[in-house]
Chain A
Amino acid sequence: MVEDQKQEGLSLLELKNQSFLTYMANLVYLTLRKLKDRLVEARVVLERIRPLEDKLKYQIDKHVKTAADGVVSADDTLRLTGNLDNIVSSSDDDEEKEVTSKVKKTDDEEQKIYKIPKITQAHYDGEAKKNEAKEKARRRTLNSSMLRDALLEHTEDPEVVYNNDVLKQRAIKKRRELEVFEEENMIRKVVSRRDKAAMRQMTTLGTMGSEILGFNTMDALQHDYDPSAPAAKRQKTGKSSKSKGKGKFKGKKGFKKQKHRF
């Protein structure tokens, strides 16, 4: 090791230099060794052969087996040829004509009806859809604001407050799109009153009210939840039935006069 004679001890940078050099030297030696002995080349060739070998595997195995057994097996495909005696000409017996005509008829019928060619298996979607609906309902209740507020007190994550509301996002995006279009084409687009109001809308209770104050049932979280089945109806209380009875007489124009309860 080279030592700096002016100072005491070994300079750190000098040490780094030397170790780098030795590292590089060793690496080069290794690479050279590999190249000279054609190690890598042989490995690459073997790897390329492997898939080809996989494709021919069946034939190779069969031939090896034949060679090993010494006898050709019974189900050898090379031996399966057509039996010439079975091929009969169509202009022979009446029976055969009938048969052929029947066959032709059904053929005609079949030609009219379109049959899907059975090449591969068709994908059956039925089960997945039901599960998906269930999953969707489950996810909807889990992500509802009601449940999220309830779970807030049990998590240890810091509470994140986002600045963007979902409904406003759409309006913001639309506005930006419009802006880009207008500046690109140097033209002012006529925005209808409704669209203008939508773009300027603040998230009021009117737009988000149902989400904030809504009540979600926990049905979707049960195991036996079936989204296609009708939701359980509320039990009719005694009071409501009474009020219905009172309002049964019909007014002048045939409207049912109902008692409005405030």
Chain B
Amino acid sequence: FCVDPKHEIMGKESETTATVRTRKFLTNRLLNRKQMVVDVLHPDRATVPKSEIKEKLAKMYKTTGDVVFCFGFRTAFGGGKSTGFALIYDTLDYAKKIEPKYRLVRQGLLEVKKTARKQRKERKNRMKKARGTAKAKLAAATKKE
């Protein structure tokens, strides 16, 4: 018996590919970027992940994928079409300066170190017991490494 290549268990890329179209294109000289509304058509397929859309946009606009930031994708009722936004910066420096932190974290360009929630709450409760200069001392002592 032959294995039908369509029903590959390993393959993630489904049979039908997605079409990416851009609308309302605007070159924002003040923020050194191009901003647009992105329409993705993906019949017979679940919502396309942002990384894939990023790669496709990078190819369309002849840039690297790391200056492309896409967000806000909403799938229309019934599936098959999603709409979102994308920003393409001139350089990575500008991107790092202008983009909000959470989007940089998503892209992997920024790391936010956070202590565990429990530790933070415990520290706060310990601080409540002290007052004045003692408080400042305690804060320095228990400061996160």
Contact = CB atoms under 8 A, between A and B. Distances in A.
B121 interface: no
A200 B77 contact: yes
A188 interface: yes
Nearest to A200: B77
Contacts of A200: 77
B117 to A, nearest CB: 24
A186 B85 contact: yes
B21 interface: no
13 contacts: A182-B72, A183-B23, A183-B24, A183-B37, A186-B35, A186-B37, A186-B72, A186-B85, A186-B87, A187-B72, A188-B72, A188-B74, A200-B77
Interface in B23-39: 23-24, 35, 37
A59 B35 CA distance: 74
Which has the most chain A C-beta neighbours within 10 Å: B72, B77, B87? B72
Given A183-B24, A186-B37, 11 more contacts: A182-B72, A183-B23, A183-B37, A186-B35, A186-B72, A186-B85, A186-B87, A187-B72, A188-B72, A188-B74, A200-B77
A233 B23 CA distance: 62
A23 to B, nearest CB: 55
A113 B74 CA distance: 65
Nearest to B72: A188
Nearest to A187: B72
Chain A interface size, under 10 / 10 to 19 / 20 to 34 / 35 or more: under 10
Interface in A40-72: none
B68 to A, nearest CB: 14
Contacts of A182: 72
Interface string B83-109: 001010000000000000000000000
Interface in A166-203: 182-183, 186-188, 200
Contacts, number: 13
Interface string A3-46: 00000000000000000000000000000000000000000000
A191 to B, nearest CB: 11
Contacts of B23: 183
Contacts of A186: 35, 37, 72, 85, 87
A27 to B, nearest CB: 55
A200 B35 CA distance: 29
A188 B74 CA distance: 9
Nearest to B77: A200
A143 B42 CA distance: 46
The 8 closest A-B pairs by CB, nearest first: A188-B72, A186-B85, A183-B37, A186-B35, A183-B24, A188-B74, A200-B77, A187-B72
Contacts of A183: 23-24, 37
Contacts of A188: 72, 74
Interface in A204-228: none
Contacts of B77: 200
A213 B144 CA distance: 69
Which has the most chain B C-beta neighbours within 10 Å: A183, A186, A187? A186
A182 B23 CA distance: 13
Contacts of B74: 188
A198 to B, nearest CB: 15
A180 to B, nearest CB: 11
A98 B24 CA distance: 84
A183 B24 CA distance: 8
B29 to A, nearest CB: 16
A258 B114 CA distance: 63
